[in-house]
């Protein structure tokens, strides 16, 4: 399935914040987590993730710190901040309202062609 890029962009911030609320992580692992959570239907690239992470840093929703992988390679780890947790809570409420609204409409009768 090809998911519209506007929908992918809309869900990017809450998705990354929710992944980081599980614990600190690094770019490649975040990309893998997105792919796993979507059962392979969302395949993000570095070119999408890193600008988002940099924007979340500027907004003080995440902080980054260089560390080492278990193999000793240098790796940048991202961690959600208190402001990021507050933003995630707000976005969860908004998405709950949006999905509940659509479920109320689409849940009444089967969609043709879906």
**Cα(41)–Cα(85) distance, integer angstroms:** 26
Residue 46 near residue 27 (C-beta atoms within 8 A): yes
Residue 83's Cβ-side half-sphere holds a number of Cα atoms within 13 Å equal to 8
User: In the structure encoding, which two tokens stand for residue 81, read together?
Assistant: 């901040």
Q: Which stretch of 15-19, 28-32, 43-47, 83-87 has the lowest confidence by average pLDDT? A: 43-47
- What is the per-residue pLDDT for 36? 96
Q: Strand order of the sheet with strand 74-80?
A: 25-26, 74-80, 62-68
The whole model's pTM is what? 0.89
């Amino acid at each position: 399935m090809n998911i519209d890029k506007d929908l992918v962009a809309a869900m990017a911030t809450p998705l990354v914040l929710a992944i980081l609320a599980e614990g600190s992580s690094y770019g490649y692992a975040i990309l893998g987590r997105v792919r796993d959570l979507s059962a392979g239907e969302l395949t993000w690239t570095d070119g999408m993730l890193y600008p988002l992470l940099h924007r979340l840093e500027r907004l003080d929703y995440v902080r980054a710190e260089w560390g080492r992988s278990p193999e000793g390679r240098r790796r940048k780890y991202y961690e959600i901040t208190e402001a990021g947790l507050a933003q995630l809570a707000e976005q969860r409420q908004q998405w709950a309202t949006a999905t509940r609204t659509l479920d109320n409409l689409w849940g009444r009768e089967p969609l043709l062609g879906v």
